[in-house]
Structure 1
Amino acid sequence: MKREEWFNYQKLNAEQLNTFRENGFLIIKKIINPAGITQIQNECMTAWKKEKESFDPDKSWLQNSLLVNIHHQSPAVRDYYFEGPLVDIASQLIGPNIKGATSQLTFKMKGNTKPFGWHQDNGYGELEPYNALTTLTALDDTDRGNGCLWLIPGSHKQGQIRVAQNEEQKKSQSEIIVEADESLAVPMEMKAGDALIFNCWMLHKSDGNYSDSRDRRILFLRYADADAIEVYNGRKPRLGRLVKGTTRFEEVKQFESEL
């Protein structure tokens, strides 16, 4: 199978676009075919094992569960991130000019029972304009048993929630937890190869992985307007590879141009 056949390219229809506007999220089924999932799993696990050890309850979430810039270590992820079906979907939801803003693995391996509380992704890296997208592609079947995501439909309409942090909390990269009505939460159960897409203001959380035999491995890719700036960093342009359209920032035009 050719690499481009690993992915299922598609456009969102009017109903899906309206659902995203109202609820703030969509699940796209089978966006990666089984052969593509196997390749991505293999490459991601090779990278993971180079840098990560087994789960340690005394380590931070960052140490136990996250590996950044996975597209630097996985050619299959790089193709999916920069040229896969999520790029066209992002252009429908954000606009014609798109850049990749983040790529990472967020793995909750069996035995990692640490929850991650309610938060907005734009709380950890506030970008403007406020239309950045988080995409989570499941590399395993994910459900309540192995720590799937939960979110609150429509919560993106609250806008940016400000959480005060002192300098020590910022330096330690402590969790930015916000209050949420648990009764409104919906589990995002997916099959391997499905992708969850949601607005940067969406309230979401994940519980621990209480399965004794199943990992919960997710590929986290974030897309933003090509001219998006970092509000938290002197309003500098967010660096990321331009994947569609144009940008006014020369730094973005040149970023990762060698890849």
Structure 2
Amino acid sequence: MEKEELFNYQKLTEEQLQTYNEQGYLILKGVIKPQGLEQMRAECMKAWNKEKESFDPNKSWLQNSLLVNVHHQAPTVKQYYFEGPLVSVATQIIGENVKGATSQLTFKMKGNTKPFGWHQDNGYGELDPYNALTTLSALDDTDRGNGCLWLIPGSHKQGQIRVEQNAEQKQSQSEIIVEADDSKAIPMEMKAGDSLIFNCWMLHKSDGNYSTDRDRRILFLRYADADAIEVYNNRKPRLGKLVNGHTKFHEVEEFEADL
């Protein structure tokens, strides 16, 4: 099926770009069309059921809620990640040279009431330059009842927040939680097919899914400067498929996205 039948391609307006720079986020309506949603849900659930089980409160967040590199098993997600409308959005915000940096299905099943505290995405995977872009595309309607995201508008302006972790915390990959003022938070409620985009320094969290009959499935796709390096990994280049422009790193130029 042609991409145009699955996704709505759009260019950010000057007003949207100004809002993003000032507030640190945007919600883009109806980025994924109904046929695209149908295909993505089917592919994602096939991949999920192949590797995962039902929610278990004794398991970790990674075991319960994340399926990494979901595009390896979901062709429509791969098309969306590498050729979809978010690539154009990323080039407007990051610049002409862009690579895909992360692909995940975040699946907060009904009954998974575990919250995820305040953090910055660049706190977990610090990339330089500091213009990486997080996109969250809703495969289900998301609201306060089933664990939608909350963020603090403008909080990206404080830059990278340093959190001290001891060797044991680093080894266990424990959550990197920061202090934030809950009174300034607003819920990011979305309809299925919408996409939330925000700055790598944006403070955000999510509550548990207290719904008894609704899951909350989100595609987490991160884009970065094509020459972005991993600060936490001896400043090695972040590997990811080049989706626009060029890069100075042959490792990125030659990166095979399916590996």
1:73 maps to 2:73: yes
1:204 maps to 2:204: yes
> Could you report, residue by residue, the CA deviation over 1:43-81 in whole angstroms, capped at 9, with x for unpaired residues?
000000111111111111111000100010000000000
Q: Within 1, Cα distance between the matches of 2:87 and 2:191? A: 21
Q: Within 2, Cα distance between the matches of 1:188 and 1:228? A: 28
What is the letter of the counterpart of residue 200 of structure 2? C
Q: Which residue of 2 aligns with 1:90?
A: 90
Alpha carbon RMSD of aligned pairs, Å? 1.0
> Could you report, residue by residue, the CA deviation over 1:200-225 in whole angstroms, capped at 9, with x for unpaired residues?
00000000000000000000000000
Q: Within 2, Cα distance between the matches of 1:26 and 1:13? A: 12
Q: Which residue of 2 aligns with 1:129?
A: 129
1:256 maps to 2:243: no
> Could you report, residue by residue, the CA deviation over 1:78-108 in whole angstroms, capped at 9, with x for unpaired residues?
0000000000000000000000000001110
Q: Which residue of 2 aligns with 1:112?
A: 112
Tell me the number of residue pairs that the alignment of Structure 1 and Structure 2 aligns.
259
Q: Within 2, Cα distance between the matches of 1:12 and 1:6? A: 19
CA distance change for structure 1 residues 119 and 249 in 2, over 3 Å: closer, same or farther?
same
Q: Within 2, Cα distance between the matches of 1:87 and 1:171? A: 34
> Could you report, residue by residue, the CA deviation over 1:157-207 in whole angstroms, capped at 9, with x for unpaired residues?
010000011111112111000000000000000000000000000000000
Q: Which residue of 2 aligns with 1:140?
A: 140
Q: Within 2, Cα distance between the matches of 1:32 and 1:65? A: 22
Q: Which residue of 2 aligns with 1:51?
A: 51
What is the letter of the counterpart of residue 186 of structure 2? V
Residue 258 of structure 1 and its aligned partner are, at CA, apart by 7.0
SS at match of 1:10: coil
Q: Which runs of 4+ in 1 moved over 2 A?
A: 1-4
Write the mapping of 1:1-259 to structure 2, written as runs, cut at 5 A: 2-256=2-256
> Could you report, residue by residue, the CA deviation over 1:136-166 in whole angstroms, capped at 9, with x for unpaired residues?
0000000000000000000000100000111
SS at match of 1:180: coil
The 10-residue stretch of structure 1 (201-210 or 56-65) with the greater mean CA deviation from structure 2: 56-65
Among all aligned residue pairs of Structure 1 and Structure 2, give the percentage whose two residues are the same amino acid: 79
What is the letter of the counterpart of residue 2 of structure 1? E
Q: Within 2, Cα distance between the matches of 1:231 and 1:128? A: 7
TM-score (structure 2 length as normaliser)? 0.98
Residue 256 of structure 1 and its aligned partner are, at CA, apart by 1.1
SS at match of 2:240: coil
Paired residues of 2:240 and 2:257 also in contact (CA < 8 A) = no
Q: Within 2, Cα distance between the matches of 1:217 and 1:257? A: 23
SS at match of 1:50: helix
Residue 257 of structure 1 and its aligned partner are, at CA, apart by 6.1
Paired residues of 2:29 and 2:193 also in contact (CA < 8 A) = yes
SS at match of 2:218: strand
CA distance change for structure 1 residues 161 and 258 in 2, over 3 Å: closer, same or farther?
closer
Q: Within 2, Cα distance between the matches of 1:258 and 1:194? A: 26
SS at match of 2:90: helix
What is the letter of the counterpart of residue 86 of structure 2? L
What is the letter of the counterpart of residue 90 of structure 1? A
What is the letter of the counterpart of residue 141 of structure 1? D
SS at match of 1:82: helix
Q: Within 2, Cα distance between the matches of 1:214 and 1:92? A: 35
